Amino acid sequence: MRILVLRDKKPGHYHQAEGIAAAAARIEPNAIERLDVRPRRLAHDMLRRRLLGWFLHRPELGLRLFYGIDARRIAPFDMIVGSGRPTIAAGVLLSRLLGVPFVYSGWPDGYDPDVFGLILVDSPRKAGAPNAAFVPVPSLIDPTALPKPKALKAPADLRGAELALMIGGEAHSHHYRPEDWAKLVTFIVRTSETLGIRWHVATSRRTPPEMRGRLEALLAEGRIVEFVDFERDGPGSADRLYGADAVVVTEDLISMLSEALTARRPAVALAPSQVKKTSDFEWVAVEAAAGHVAVMPIATATPERFADALVDLAPPEDDVRGRIASALRKVVPHVDGAPRVPPEDRDAAGRGSDRFAAE
């Protein structure tokens, strides 16, 4: 099976797209090619959204005008995958051009769900939409390749435990005040001193320089044992931290929270003082109800409260990649031995409308 992975500029997005391809490999071995998608300066999201319906009948023209992509250079593929709004129009137009499904991770707000082959959503409210499936956020984390974590059943078990802390920053849904960062530093210091936690800390592209400087100081003081700086070390440099005994993230890092659960680690999300609710909260609520995740405000995260919340968690036991692969089977039935359906016959075969048929 040949898969084309569409990549925008954000690591969190293209890691999800790569995660879809990795899940598809559980069905059938695949060959992956990647295409960096960069909309042209004037082809902003609203314009792409409004004109997409017209370009469904001229996908090669839409690809050229929106992205500068020469459709003549696109090889045949069995599936196209993407995540992030810049990839939406590209994926839909390529699926139309090639007559194959476009699998998108996330909710394509403002776009017609019928033009997608499959939409992987982390919100149970969205799961009833056309072509949608409720699954964990896809990632490249392989839980079988990670060391077995230390069991954390009581606060005393935290002494000497290796914990990962993933730190994000400003997002459309989360606003950090200076006091949030100050209290997060205090949290790191106090949990290290009181509970004996060995902290492995990583930043993201959104982490402010001031916080990175404070973490450098904590490393020099021996308050943390490792510091992975995104600005210095680059995307993917923190992946090894999922081998820790538990994972703590700032709540804006939804992808990393999902990756922690994919790694089968108990996870705690720390929330800043100003939070705007989004559909991501529904997924977090589902995982919290299952006992996999705890959420607490940074402002009130004392060592005692943190320890009590963490030891009550039970990490997921299943491999979430299998759940994603099961959803993918709906749009690529030929991987189970069924013949590939020509684009012109897809309506008769129940594969959807001619929105995916090449002209």
The pLDDT value recorded for residue 133 is 95
- Say yes or no: 327 and 246 in one domain: no
Tell me, letter by letter, the H, E, C secondary structure of 107-131: CCCCCCHHHCCEEEECCHHHCCCCC
> Tell me, what amino acid is at 175?
H
- Check residue 291 and give left, alpha or beta (phi > 0: left; psi -120 to 50: alpha): left
- Say yes or no: 183 and 250 in one domain: yes
CATH of residue 116's domain is 3.40.50
Average pLDDT, the chain: 89
Q: Which residues, in sequence order, are bridge partners of residue 274?
A: 175
From residue 209, give the alpha-carbon distance in Å to each of 187, 215, 226, 244: 19, 10, 17, 25
> Tell me, what amino acid is at 84?
G
> Tell me, what amino acid is at 284?
V
CATH of residue 285's domain is 3.40.50.2000
Q: At what angle do helices 59-67 and 45-55 cross, to 10 degrees?
A: 160
Q: Which domain holds residue 79?
A: 2-139+321-356
Q: Is residue 144 part of a domain?
A: no
- Say yes or no: 55 and 155 in one domain: no
Torsion, CA 202, CA 207, CA 209, CA 211, rounded to 10: -70
Q: Is residue 187 part of a domain?
A: yes
The pLDDT value recorded for residue 334 is 57
**pLDDT at residue 351 above 70?**
no
How many structural domains is the chain composed of? 2
The pLDDT value recorded for residue 333 is 55
**pTM value?**
0.82
* pLDDT tens-place string over residues 129-182: 889 999 988 998 999 999 999 999 999 999 999 999 999 999 989 999 999 999
The pLDDT value recorded for residue 277 is 81
- Say yes or no: 62 and 200 in one domain: no
- Say yes or no: 104 and 27 in one domain: yes
- Say yes or no: 305 and 163 in one domain: yes
Q: Is residue 316 part of a domain?
A: no
Confidence of residue 324 (pLDDT cuts 50, 70, 90): very high
The pLDDT value recorded for residue 354 is 30
**pLDDT at residue 344 above 50?**
no
Q: Is residue 297 part of a domain?
A: yes
- Say yes or no: 243 and 342 in one domain: no
Q: Which residues, in sequence order, are bridge partners of residue 2?
A: 31
Q: Is residue 145 part of a domain?
A: no
Closest CA to 76 of 130, 28, 133, 4: 4
Parallel, antiparallel or unpaired: strands 246-250 and 198-203: unpaired
Q: Is residue 279 part of a domain?
A: yes
- Say yes or no: 119 and 208 in one domain: no
- Say yes or no: 227 and 161 in one domain: yes
Q: Is residue 208 part of a domain?
A: yes
The pLDDT value recorded for residue 184 is 98
Q: What whole-number percentage of the chain has pLDDT above 90?
A: 75
Segment 240-248 shows an average pLDDT of 96
- Say yes or no: 12 and 107 in one domain: yes
> Tell me, what amino acid is at 287?
E
* pLDDT tens-place string over residues 172-226: 899 999 999 999 999 999 999 999 999 999 999 999 999 999 999 999 999 999 9
- Say yes or no: 197 and 283 in one domain: yes
* pLDDT tens-place string over residues 74-120: 999 999 999 999 999 999 999 999 999 999 999 999 999 999 999 99
- Say yes or no: 184 and 325 in one domain: no
The pLDDT value recorded for residue 68 is 96
Confidence of residue 280 (pLDDT cuts 50, 70, 90): confident
Helix, strand, coil shares of the chain, percent, nearest 5, are 45, 15, 40
Q: Is residue 255 within 8 Å of 138, Cβ to Cβ? A: no
**pLDDT at residue 356 above 70?**
no
